[in-house]
Amino acid sequence: MSSSHRIGVAQGTALYVGAVLGGGVLALPALTAREAGPASLVAWALMVAFCVPIAGAFASLGMRYPDGGGVATFAAKAFGPRTSAPVGWLFYFAVPVGTASAAIVGGSYVADALGGGYPMSLGVAAVLLLAAYVSNWLGLKLSGGLQLLLVGLLAALMVAAVVVAAPDSRAEHFTPFAPHGWFAVGHAATLLFFAFSGWEAVSHLSGEFSDPRRQLPVVTALTVVTVAVLYLGVATTSMAVLGSGPDRSSVPLTLLLERGIGSSASAVTAVAAALLTFATVNAYIAGGSRLGAALGRDGDLPRRLGKGNGAGEIPRRSLLVLASLTAVLLAAAAVLDIRLDPIMTAASACFVAVYIAGLSAAVKLLRGSTFGRAGAVVSLAAVLVVFCFFGWYLVLPAALVLGAKVFQRYRARTDDDGADTAVRDAGDQDGKVTEQAAAG
């Protein structure tokens, strides 16, 4: 296998879809239905529409500045090199937290199907994460190909669930259309926000395409269409078949599949959850590891991490760091009984901070693109509103920004000391040469 493999449209689309299409599709149709009733479908449609300008902004940035640094590179281009470290740290050190939370979600479905509890969820999460790290360790040729297979299987499963359940649709499930008022639609949209995230993760893969300017628009468009069709299809069919009553199941995909395959649907849903989880964490690890290598290359992390930062190379040192941090987090969750909610919220706070940085960079850098810049402005305003609701969890992104600034100061001081030493050594050498010449 060549280490210089570059990804094409098919593998790129699979990685992008895997990053955006998370396990939320297994639970969010039920959560939003309970919140806003049939009107929750309006929230789904709004989020699909909101996804377009965000995806367009990140695609435009990736086309102009394809690099493993992703959002950190965009921030540096827009606001100067000193901004790359804080932004890069926000994403890089949130990857272990975000992938762990996603893996625990998938693990919980598997544990539920097997009759296990939270310890089993953590065990399954560990297996899924190990598989994703091994996949990335072997390179994007395998990782991207595996992602393509998984996304294809998942899409087929979701389409099958819609097709077999659609004949059981009932018109009365759509009345009353807004039983909890239209304000509830806004709250449902807030719940859905993170179901449509992931564009910040795959921005770090922009440098891996053989022709980013030609391929990224195609990959982005295919991803938006795929995610929109699958999300809206499952959400609409779920509402039409299951309704929005208080006894609504929290795992609607299982009930939809039961229409066609009976009691084995629970096992199939568990497998789907595991595959969805793997697809998501695989894409985040692929992007995060390349970001770490880019930060090492630029001196925003220890330079030893820079090995493997070239396009098509495998950033194994960065992967080892991420894998170690993930293992520590899972061990802490097991020993201290840390549940999913705080882990997921902590990761989300960091990822939204990354969105703010990336979209702010897009507002400045995309001045020549009317559509891209307008989309960035609208998206930035919406993300800023969401950011305010994280409360004390904002301490985490603040601490990472502070840590990055401290590291920058330390690196600058050591670089200055090294430069001074080099000057003194050069002066001493010149003095010795002069003395030798005089003695001669």
Contact 300, 415 (CB under 8 A): no
Q: How far apart are alpha carbons 332 and 326 in whole angstroms?
A: 10
* Reported pTM: 0.73
- What tens-digit pLDDT sequence spans the chain (440 residues)? 334 456 788 878 877 887 777 666 766 787 788 888 898 899 889 888 888 888 888 888 888 888 777 788 888 899 988 888 899 899 899 999 988 988 888 888 788 788 888 899 999 999 999 999 998 888 755 555 666 777 777 788 888 888 888 888 888 888 888 888 888 887 777 667 666 777 766 676 777 787 888 888 898 889 889 888 988 998 899 888 888 765 555 567 777 877 777 777 778 778 877 887 887 788 789 888 988 998 998 889 999 998 887 767 889 999 999 999 999 999 999 998 888 778 878 888 888 888 899 899 999 998 877 677 888 888 898 888 878 878 888 899 999 999 999 998 888 888 765 555 544 555 555 555 445 555 55
Q: How far apart are alpha carbons 232 and 40 in whole angstroms?
A: 11
Residues in the chain: 440
- DSSP annotation of 263 reads G
- DSSP annotation of 312 reads T
Q: Which amino acid is located at 326 in the chain?
A: T
- Structure-token pair, residue 296: 């090492």
- DSSP annotation of 249 reads -
Contact 172, 27 (CB under 8 A): no
